[in-house]
Amino acid sequence: MLLKKVKLSDVALIENSRANEEDCSELMESIKESGLIQPVVVTKAFNGRGKKPYVLVAGNRRFRAVKNLGEASVDAVINDNIKDMADLLVFNMSENLQRKDVSAFEQGRLLKLLITKHFLTKKECSVRLGITEARVESLLNAFGAFPQKYTEKITTDTNAVRKKGLVGLSTATTVANLQKSNLISRSEGQEILDGVLNGKYNSTTVRAMAGTIRKGASFRQFKNGSKSIGYTTVRVPLYVSEKEDIEGGITEYLMQLIYGESKDHFTRPRF
């Protein structure tokens, strides 16, 4: 890789990172005071992308901040290993996976592009990104299961999920799987995420909720306080001489204990 000054006018921008509208005023102030600490990453143009010799790979905010400051060029690392859009997206995704402030929605969006537009399989995404197939599936679920106002709050940062206003990826995946199995509606799924975002539910509560729903309860029952069915264990003395007088097995014996009688036999109360 080579570090050099590159003219801003020589770099083509493509949709490969966060929204262009993201504010970069603080970054501009930092660059004015200390200069650009981390260079942008570009690659040589591929697939006939315009007439510009380079394509921006990473550093969208840094690029825009330098441009807004009126600079004509920017420090850039030239990455020669990127040959097509799939390579570019994989590089961008790998960078994002290391950044705790990038939402699971953004990561899922890039994965979706790799699969639908560049025809990578989930296994190929897993191998090229160095993550498990289960992680790929979770990120795709987070991207596709909810409106963006929720998914942009989903984080892969395990330390950040303790804060209000964020949802852990595993929690979002749990809710998405309930929706996928038609155990809850999309509106109920969003209601659960609202509860997580405002601090009403945490990851433990959502796991318990999911377990209860999978056993047959509805979300409404859980919400109204019927989180589980309580059972009381009672030890009942079994008299061998009496059991021998009862037709059938132990199940029939217990039924008689509950209902108090059989054809010609009365079972005295034991509790």
Last residue of a domain, one of 83, 104, 122: 83
By the 8 A CB rule, do 16 and 92 touch?
Answer: yes
Taking the C-alpha atoms of residue 86 and residue 6, their distance in angstroms, rounded to an integer, is: 24
94 and 206 assigned to the same domain:
yes
Between 130 and 17, residue with greater pLDDT: 130
Last residue of a domain, one of 183, 198, 223: 223
Q: Of 118, 135, 146, which is closest to residue 169 (Cα–Cα)? A: 135
259 and 244 assigned to the same domain:
yes
Taking the C-alpha atoms of residue 37 and residue 89, their distance in angstroms, rounded to an integer, is: 24
60 and 140 assigned to the same domain:
no
Counted domains in the chain: 3
Taking the C-alpha atoms of residue 46 and residue 87, their distance in angstroms, rounded to an integer, is: 11
Between 159 and 231, residue with greater pLDDT: 159
CATH number of the domain where residue 34 is located: 3.90.1530.10
Q: What is the pLDDT of residues 52-103, one digit of tens each?
A: 889 898 888 899 999 999 999 999 999 888 888 888 888 877 776 766 567 7
Taking the C-alpha atoms of residue 100 and residue 107, their distance in angstroms, rounded to an integer, is: 11
- The helix-helix angle for 169-180 and 203-214 (nearest 10°) equals 20
210 and 251 assigned to the same domain:
no
Alpha-carbon distances, residue 269 vs 35, 231, 258, 260, 266 (angstroms) = 87, 20, 9, 7, 9
Average pLDDT over residues 126-136: 89
33 and 74 assigned to the same domain:
yes
Q: Of 250, 247, 251, 249, which is closest to residue 262 (Cα–Cα)? A: 247
pLDDT band at 227 (very low <50, low <70, confident <90, very high): very low
Q: Of 123, 119, 126, which is closest to residue 97 (Cα–Cα)? A: 126
Residue 239 has pLDDT above 70, yes or no: no
Last residue of a domain, one of 83, 118, 151: 83
120 and 240 assigned to the same domain:
no
78 and 91 assigned to the same domain:
no
By the 8 A CB rule, do 148 and 134 touch?
Answer: no
Taking the C-alpha atoms of residue 228 and residue 217, their distance in angstroms, rounded to an integer, is: 8
266 and 205 assigned to the same domain:
no
By residue range, what is the domain housing residue 35? Answer: 2-83
Between 162 and 211, residue with greater pLDDT: 211
155 and 247 assigned to the same domain:
no
Taking the C-alpha atoms of residue 55 and residue 57, their distance in angstroms, rounded to an integer, is: 6
Taking the C-alpha atoms of residue 156 and residue 173, their distance in angstroms, rounded to an integer, is: 11
59 and 105 assigned to the same domain:
no
Alpha-carbon distances, residue 185 vs 12, 26, 175, 179, 199 (angstroms) = 43, 41, 10, 6, 21
181 and 261 assigned to the same domain:
no
CATH number of the domain where residue 161 is located: 1.10.10
140 and 214 assigned to the same domain:
yes
